Amino acid sequence: MKPIVKSLWWKLALAGVGIILVGSVVATLAIGPFFDLMAFRDMVRPERLKDEVRRERALLGGRLGDAQLARSLLEAMQDRLHDIEGSATSYGLAYSATPRISLAAYDADGSAIARIDAPGLPTPQTWLPSAERLQTVSASERLLVLPLQPEGTLLVRHYAEFSFRKNLSSALRDTGEAFWLLVAIISIPGLLLGVTLTYWLSRRLGAMTRASQAWSRGDFSTRIGDRATDELGSHAAALDAMAGRIEDMLRAEQELAALKERQRLARELHDSVKQQVFATGLQLHAAAQWLRKEPDKAAALLERATTINQTVYRDLTEMLLRLRPVASERPLAALVDETLAAWTGQIGWRLELDAVPALSAPQQHQLLRIVAEAAANAVRHAGARELRVAAQAADGMLEVRIEDDGRGFDPGNTRPGQGLQSMSERAQALPRGSLAVHSGPQGTVVCLRFRPDTGKEDE
């Protein structure tokens, strides 16, 4: 996590500096020409041009007879008008344009004393004295007609057109010259700000990462604990709330699983251990009755009670260790016969299970418990003499019928006990399983239907 965070710090910090530098240059190049254009328009106003030549114009008045002096003063005016400085002296006219200036001085007769003509911008040979005129000829050209003392005329033709291309070229040149100053002024504070913000952000993201890693391990007690009120804090609060709900759900699931396990153990104890202990008691009672009259028969009953007791021990061991049942490779008829052996001497049975397909371990287990419960009810409550267990497979379903010849009962007027409820729950645990009980004076029929499998599905 640390190398990732450090990498994130530097990436975000450098990205912040780059964005600041690029943004500054782009802002300068995009916004600068707009302000430069406004300054340009102010500098080329005829009133501003008149003010720029004010000193040379005053020197030229009264000296119109000196042609050499007049030309020198015209050259000075041309230089001044070629690159007029802005109000803050940081911007000149030549920064955004290539001006052309033509000037001429005329005497009282209108004859030219001195002339300086720029390419494509000629001045006339003669100009009679006239009143002052400040004229904007076009968007790029201005004309100034200024009287000279005592009687003369100064003519100025000024041509300057704003060029965005030259303005950008000048801006890039100035940016290159002041690049390191720009780095010092902008980059260092930007770098400090970027590192600070990145550390603050990465620390909060690190808390989210640690919490999500704990959640992936199943530990939902960990919380992010970000108390900020921004979007990231709101997201962290939502994640904490989600983790709390998941923790509550897992706790409820664990409690439900424990309850189901207790119910399962209760059902197993009722369907196996309780019935077998009852059968053992019958065998011991019968053995006590025959102990003096026929010791051999009493010994056989005691041996059968011992066998049943071993079965009880085995079942208790399986439940305590919570071992999953393992499918037996023996035929179902043999397994049913072994299950009913506990009732030897109490009831007889007949098995018709030759057409039953192989079943998975869970299905064998549920089926044998239902048979055992039905047999126990037939002996204990119905006084039955014979039990018939038959099965028939059709249309992918297996139907198992357990019939006895006891006195039966009325299902509508009889409160269902734990035995009937246990058989119903076991039937419902089977694929598409259902259980139906029919009883009358001639006996009781327990009908179990379910879809068999061969061990590929685990109930």
pLDDT tens, residue by residue, 133-179: 999 999 899 999 999 988 899 999 999 999 888 888 887 777 665 65
Residue 244 has pLDDT above 70, yes or no: yes
Question: What pLDDT was estimated at residue 458?
Answer: 43
pTM attached to this predicted model: 0.40
User: pLDDT tier at 459 (50, 70, 90 boundaries)?
Assistant: very low
Residue 364 lies in a domain: yes
Higher-pLDDT residue of 83, 414: 83
User: pLDDT tier at 414 (50, 70, 90 boundaries)?
Assistant: low
Q: What is the pLDDT of residues 371-382, one digit of tens each?
A: 988 888 888 888
Residue 49 lies in a domain: no
Residue 386 lies in a domain: yes
Residue 3 lies in a domain: no
Residue 175 zone, left/alpha/beta (φ > 0; ψ -120 to 50; rest): alpha
Ordered alpha helix ranges (H), 61-187: 67-82, 164-177, 179-182
Residue 193 lies in a domain: no
- Percent of the chain past pLDDT 90, that is, above it, reads 22
Give the 3-state secondary structure of residue 138.
Answer: coil
What residues have CB less than 8 Å from 242, skipping those under 6 apart? none
Print the domain residue range for 417. 324-459
Q: For residues 66 and 61, give the distance between their C-alpha atoms in angstroms, rounded to a whole number.
A: 11
Residue 440 lies in a domain: yes
- Among 335, 426, 457, 277, which residue's Cα sits nearest to residue 446? 426
Question: What pLDDT was estimated at residue 138?
Answer: 92
Query: For residue 367, what are the CA distances in angstroms to 196, 279, 404?
Result: 70, 19, 17
Residue 9 has pLDDT above 60, yes or no: no
Residue 148 lies in a domain: no
Residue 214 has pLDDT above 60, yes or no: yes
Higher-pLDDT residue of 459, 375: 375
Q: What is the pLDDT of residues 267-321, one digit of tens each?
A: 776 666 667 777 777 777 777 877 777 777 777 777 777 777 767 666 665 665 4
Question: What pLDDT was estimated at residue 294?
Answer: 78
Domain count, the chain: 1
User: pLDDT tier at 441 (50, 70, 90 boundaries)?
Assistant: confident
Q: For residues 212 and 235, give the distance between their C-alpha atoms in angstroms, rounded to a whole number.
A: 13
Question: Which residue matches tokens 């019958």?
Answer: 282
Question: What pLDDT was estimated at residue 376?
Answer: 86
Query: For residue 172, what are the CA distances in angstroms to 26, 164, 166, 178, 271?
Result: 11, 12, 10, 10, 94
Residue 40 lies in a domain: no
User: pLDDT tier at 2 (50, 70, 90 boundaries)?
Assistant: very low
We report the CATH number of the domain holding residue 443 as: 3.30.565.10
- Percent of the chain past pLDDT 70, that is, above it, reads 80
- Among 135, 130, 154, 133, which residue's Cα sits nearest to residue 77? 154
Question: What pLDDT was estimated at residue 18?
Answer: 66
| Contact (CB, 8 A) for 8 and 202 | yes
Higher-pLDDT residue of 418, 38: 38
